[in-house]
Amino acid sequence: MSKKYDALGIDIGGSGIKGAPVDLTKGAFAEDRLRIATPERSTPEAVCDVVEQVVDHFDVKKGVPVGITVPAAVTHGVVRTAANIDSAWIGTDAAALFADRLGREVHVVNDADAAGVAERYYGAAKGHDGVVVLTTLGTGIGTALLVDGHLVPNTELGHLEIDGHDAETRAADSAREREGLGVEEWAQRLQTYYSRLEALLWPDLFVVGGGVSKRASEFLPLLDLRTEIVPARLKNKAGIIGAARLAAKGN
């Protein structure tokens, strides 16, 4: 018999597609997550095959909300950008594609927006009113802007133009790796990036997510900002938890 879950979250990333049922009271997985490698050519159809396997793996009743992240701007279920995913996604009605295949409604959201919601409700920014900006430092830079707990979706501030460059090409974790930057050199780039963000938004709190947030104690102390800046807490669970929450409770 199917168990009664609050919601299911699925996080589509560059290397893995991960999903788990989520307990929305605790902000935690209700079962161990399942991870399947992202197909080499991550077209919408190929990704949809994997999403279907993830949903089938968990015995989730029809009617249980399903939230799915994509690393792109999404408006009304339609993917609008493709900075670090296959360009075939642009213009794809992902909500319709997944709903058709899965035979159930799904809620498709930007990956950083999902992480921001998770951190705001269950993690590093829990209960934090005012303006909270979450950034994910990974292959790209994702951003989520929350005002008194409400998400302003698709901010895409990783693509701010700074000194003639798309910011994520200079300050994302992938830029650090690609250019072999030491922590101090990379911190200088982060300094430039977060200074620009705080000059434009005057946030009350920055939350720094992405895989590299595990090593936040090495680079956050090197930054000199007027805004409080803290590492994310939910690590690689944030996308799944936030997608599930957005699907169940909306913004």
Closest CA to 153 of 163, 161, 143, 162: 143
State yes or no: residue 73 binds ligand BGC (CB under 6 A): yes
Closest CA to 233 of 101, 122, 137: 122
Residue closest to ligand BGC, measured at CB: 140
Q: How near is the Cβ of 158 to ligand BGC at its closest, in Å?
A: 5
Residue at token pair 């902000």 = 27
Selected from 42, 110, 155, 174, the binder of ligand BGC by CB under 6 A is: 110
Q: Are 246 and 10 in contact (CB under 8 A)?
A: no
Per CB under 6 A, contacts with ligand BGC among 25-64 are none
State yes or no: residue 112 binds ligand BGC (CB under 6 A): yes
Q: How near is the Cβ of 170 to ligand BGC at its closest, in Å?
A: 13
Query: How many residues line the site for ligand BGC (CB under 6 A)?
Result: 16
Q: How near is the Cβ of 156 to ligand BGC at its closest, in Å?
A: 5
State yes or no: residue 92 binds ligand BGC (CB under 6 A): no
| Side-chain-facing half-sphere of 80: CA atoms under 13 Å | 11
Per CB under 6 A, contacts with ligand BGC among 121-160 are 136, 138, 140, 142, 156, 158
Listed ranges 105-113, 121-129, 179-187, 230-238: which one lies at the site for ligand BGC (CB under 6 A): 105-113
Q: How near is the Cβ of 64 to ligand BGC at its closest, in Å?
A: 25
Phi first, then psi, for residue 202 (nearest 5°) are 45, 60
Residue at token pair 């133009």 = 161
Selected from 20, 68, 72, 151, the binder of ligand BGC by CB under 6 A is: 72
3-state SS, one letter per residue, for 1-25: CCECCCEEEEEECCCEEEEEEEECC
Tallying the residues shown for the chain, one arrives at 251
Give the nearer residue to ligand BGC in terms of CB position, either 100 or 179. Answer: 179
Per CB under 6 A, contacts with ligand BGC among 159-218 are 168
Selected from 42, 84, 174, 236, the binder of ligand BGC by CB under 6 A is: 84
Question: CA 51 to CA 99: how far, in whole Å?
Answer: 11
Give the nearer residue to ligand BGC in terms of CB position, either 48 or 175. Answer: 175
Rounded to the nearest 10 degrees, what angle do helices 111-122 and 238-249 cross at?
90
Q: How near is the Cβ of 169 to ligand BGC at its closest, in Å?
A: 10
Q: Are 160 and 199 in contact (CB under 8 A)?
A: no
What DSSP letter does each residue of 128-160 carry, written as one string? --SEEEEEEESSSEEEEEEETTEEE----GGG-
Residues forming the site for ligand BGC (CB under 6 A): 71-73, 81, 83-84, 110-112, 136, 138, 140, 142, 156, 158, 168
